[in-house]
Structure 1
């Protein structure tokens, strides 16, 4: 059995993994879902990784799963603990020394119109759940956004990438190219929008378990 370490994206919380957690626990796995200190004006990227490492404690057989902006944190965790696998779920892939705020321009990201947040990030999430998610959002403090990513190389851990074919934020064609250039791997693709942990929790949990 494995311990799945679940890292949320920007403005999110551990609450966003609440549908995936029981799916994994039902198969005998341990789950650690962490609230990153995104609202803390004094917290940098190292503090985000510290929060995850502290929550993991002395657990072993770790599978670190990072969603969206959490892609800047997952590899830092894997550089500090012995992880068996890193899984990036429609996530940002950092380069050495790259601040998160520079990632958008460096990758050629083209932002969609953001007048309807649900339509961009949760178009396939049940409406009642999407409305509830909108009440849980958190402001992302600036410090961690402007700090250079501290690693000089990708951590020595097998890495998988889950690409969402219906993602309206990190669109498939854009993300396939980023994954190719920055990781050199072929992503696994699922039919989901940007928030598969909310729209396809059973499918995402099954895919995560299939990696073991």
Structure 2
């Protein structure tokens, strides 16, 4: 199986390195795309095209196909705010499945953009501490560690902090959401010690918006950093 890993708003593609290695040990290939290559002012389709180009480049540089070798489309893994891009990326890559990793699930029922939902329901979505931040946590290692890597050991904390980077695609967050393409399955991994998105919000979003039951892991907002083997075992 092949995987396309889509970073969220607080990490660079390096944040996927531990999960990529864990998947490789299980015989899978993964491509971690870098959406910031296209800047921070594209719409969802624009970022999907960036992802497709990078996946194609990875395939061209490999002795074997990087995506689609099993005859099925790749598994797209979206973290955190990258959930707003899940539909566009899945459609562009012909994905077979989307894995939502502590990810925002768009409200395709009421057709609210992420920005609109935050404006109307922030207290339901986010922890009060996260909502109270005056600036993104990427600018302060103490804040980033508290929200993103509090569930790991010291080595994990140090490694995680080296992957922190801000990515805020404003046009995407203001777009009306689209549902996943027909036939694309979903898996939702819910970290129960998340300090950003509220676990209860994620649980309900998975049930009402994806029609699935979330799979819970004992981790914080970045389980691909603190628990890569567990995550790989679930999605692989």
Tell me the TM-score normalised to structure 1 length: 0.86
Match of 2:99 in 1: 87
Q: In structure 2, how many angstroms separate the alpha carbons of the residues matched to 1:142 and 1:56? A: 20
Alignment of 1:163-202 (within 5 A): 163-202=190-229
Match of 1:17 in 2: 16
Pick one of 132, 142, 145 that aligns with 1:118.
145
Judged with a 3 Å threshold, the aligned counterparts in structure 2 of structure 1 residues 102 and 38 are, in CA distance, closer, same or farther, namely farther
Asked if structure 2 preserves the Cα contact closer than 8 Å seen for 1:72 and 1:149, the reply is no
Shift of 1:166: 1.4
Structure 2 gap segments, 5+ residues each: 60-66, 134-142
Judged with a 3 Å threshold, the aligned counterparts in structure 2 of structure 1 residues 146 and 66 are, in CA distance, closer, same or farther, namely closer
Structure 1 gap segments, 5+ residues each: none
Pick one of 102, 109, 112 that aligns with 2:125.
109
Asked if structure 2 preserves the Cα contact closer than 8 Å seen for 1:38 and 1:141, the reply is no
Match of 1:140 in 2: 167
Pick one of 118, 121, 129 that aligns with 2:156.
129
Runs of 4+ in 1 over 6 A off after TM superposition: none
Judged with a 3 Å threshold, the aligned counterparts in structure 2 of structure 1 residues 38 and 171 are, in CA distance, closer, same or farther, namely farther
- Size of the aligned set, in residue pairs, is 207
Q: Describe the superposition over 1:46-71 as per-residue Cα deviations: whole angstroms up to 9, x where unpaired.
A: 22211112222272131111111111
Shift of 1:150: 5.1
Q: In structure 2, how many angstroms separate the alpha carbons of the residues matched to 1:39 and 1:112? A: 32
Asked if structure 2 preserves the Cα contact closer than 8 Å seen for 1:40 and 1:141, the reply is no
Asked if structure 2 preserves the Cα contact closer than 8 Å seen for 1:39 and 1:138, the reply is no
Asked if structure 2 preserves the Cα contact closer than 8 Å seen for 1:19 and 1:198, the reply is yes
Tell me the TM-score normalised to structure 2 length: 0.78
Asked if structure 2 preserves the Cα contact closer than 8 Å seen for 1:69 and 1:92, the reply is yes
Match of 2:139 in 1: none
Alignment of 1:151-162 (within 5 A): 151=178, 153-156=179-182, 157-162=184-189
Judged with a 3 Å threshold, the aligned counterparts in structure 2 of structure 1 residues 200 and 39 are, in CA distance, closer, same or farther, namely same
Q: In structure 1, how many angstroms separate the alpha carbons of the residues matched to 2:36 and 2:167? A: 9
